[in-house]
Chain A
Amino acid sequence: MMYNLIQQAPMSLSLFLPGRAVGFTIIALSFLITLFYLWTKQNVPIRLLPQVEAMKEAVGRCAEMGRPLVYTYGNPTQGMDYWTVAGLNLLRYTAEEAAKLGVQVVIPLSATPKALITHAVVKDIMKNTFVAAGTEEMYNEANFRLTGTDDSTWGLAITRILYEVRPAAHFWLGFVPFSTVIFGEVCRDIGQCIAIGSSFYLSQIAFTVISSDYTFIAQDLIAASAYVTKDPAQGGFLRNIDIIVLIMVGVITLASILLTAGINIVPWMSV
């Protein structure tokens, strides 16, 4: 009886278009979780990642060596996506540390049309951070370098910038394409340059981990961004991802067990 009920899943719930009910439920749940954290202003506890600690140390090292820092927030070909937002939040953190210690931050800007909206935001972050720290004279337009559009020319342009400015630290945190695998090696070649990178391509992680000193693997970047901003909305964002992923893992596990037992609940997932 039960088996038959499960097998005969409805084609769709009349309120929704066919196959869209589960997707809507996930989005609605996600919305409610975010709202809950925003309204209650609960701070989600996030542990200090060693990579964030290393960023601070790297800025200090730049100050000691009198060399600049290169901060790459990626090549946001999709505009303002979540990796770019996380990269920009970490840029603000880096700029605050740099302003305290008098370190110049060189920022390559992507020339991709959709990335143009990030340019004003980046300049805003840098200017306001330096003004807030009382070091307005450190803001230098020449530190914003225009690079290429596609991932290859973008990577090459940053490599040239790295050899030109010879930084004591290079961070590439954000929407980073495949061409970033060479950055760690370039930093090693420059000498005494701390490389802190991020990666969200599965095939890229091993190379980034081995070639850079510290790596933010996938959602580490979002966690670090939430940690440095101390913003309940960011914390809720992170908790939201955790809860939905946990639910999905639970559903996938349950569906696998039931399917092995001969009960197919997959049609119910596509109502």
Chain B
Amino acid sequence: MDECLIMMEIARKRETAIIITTVSFLITFLPYFFPIPALDVVQKYTVDWALITSYFMAIVGFYYLTKVNLIRLQKRPQGWLYGIITVILVWYMCITGFAFGTGHMSFKFFYDAIALSLTAMVGAIQGFYLVGAGNKIFRFRDVKSSFLLGAAVVILLKNAPVTTVIFPGIQPVGTYLIDILVNSANRAFKIGTAIAGIALGIRVLLGKESSQVGLATEG
């Protein structure tokens, strides 16, 4: 019993989490860059472990979702009924999925009828919001806003079939804006975010990112 407690104490330590992270990192990182055949097999196993561990999160999520909503059922705050509907649907999907498989009608129907419809509805709602926001954006206020306005007009005309027939010159200008300018800006963003990812990884390895190991108050 005491040994179990000691083991748990060690497992909960911040240093343990950092050591596991660093070793896992080295096992997956080194074979990617260097020809080390001995590490290739270990890397494959480590990646498989990571995948299996990530599926445990789904089980934790299922438990957590049920627990939170049952607590809401006891306290009955505003909107508690939505929580009950969520729990019923989650259990229904789990039971039918396990019992009949994910290809069965009873499983697919609820996903197609509810989840897909909701996603489509959000897309439709956003269309209206975007038109409203576009109405505010595309106005000539100053020189800077005129760039956005000009680009928007060109892209709108490029995508309208009639205008490209009437003004054939619009097509190459619009294509240039999308292929050259938008792509350049997009890649600059992507480079920045990739570097940020690397830098965060380094901080995690050095134990400087305390939130990664659930010790958010230390930083």
Given contacts A34-B199, A182-B126, A202-B186, contact A248 B191 (CB under 8 A): yes
Judge whether B58 is part of the interface by a CB distance below 8 angstroms.
Answer: yes
A128 near B132: Cβ-Cβ < 8 Å? no
Q: Would you call A121 and B198 a contact (CB within 8 A)? A: no
Taking the complex as formed, is A218 at the interface, i.e. its CB lies under 8 A from any CB of chain B? yes
B191 to A245, Cβ gap below 8 A? yes
Q: Does A51 contact B (CB under 8 A)?
A: no
Interface pair A17/B202, CB less than 8 Å apart: no
| Complex alpha-carbon distance, A81 and B21, angstroms | 15
A146: B residues at CB distance < 8 A:
65, 68-69, 83
B216 interfacial by beta-carbon distance below 8 Å: yes
Pick from A42-50, A96-104, A151-159, A263-271 the stretch touching chain B.
A151-159
Asked if A200 and B189 make an inter-chain contact with CB atoms under 8 angstroms apart, the answer reads yes
Rounded to whole Å, the gap between the CB of A171 and the closest CB of chain B is: 18
Contact status B119-A150, CB under 8 Å: yes
* Nearest-neighbor residue (CB-CB) of A112 within chain B: B61
Judged by DSSP, the binding face of B is helix
Contact: B192 with A152, CB < 8 Å?
no
Chain B residues with a Cβ closer than 8 Å to the other chain, count: 60
Report B-chain residues with C-beta under 8 Å of the C-beta of A119: 64
Asked if A7 is at the interface (CB within 8 A of a chain B CB), the reply is no
On A, residues with C-beta under 8 Å from B are: 15-17, 20-21, 23-24, 26-27, 30-31, 34-35, 38, 80-82, 85, 88-89, 92, 111-114, 116-117, 119-121, 124-125, 128, 142, 146, 150, 152-153, 155-156, 160, 164, 178-179, 181-182, 184-185, 200, 202, 206-207, 209-211, 218-219, 222, 229, 231, 233, 237, 240-241, 244-245, 248
Q: Beyond A17-B33, A181-B129, A211-B129: 18 further Cβ-contacts under 8 Å? A: A16-B35, A30-B199, A38-B208, A80-B211, A81-B200, A85-B211, A111-B61, A116-B61, A125-B216, A146-B68, A146-B83, A152-B119, A160-B79, A210-B136, A218-B193, A237-B196, A241-B195, A245-B191
Residues of chain B whose beta carbon lies under 8 Å from any beta carbon of chain A:
32-35, 54, 57-58, 60-61, 64-65, 68-69, 75, 77-79, 83, 115, 118-119, 121-123, 125-126, 129-130, 132-134, 136-137, 148, 182, 185-186, 188-189, 191-193, 195-200, 202-203, 206, 208-209, 211-212, 214-217, 219
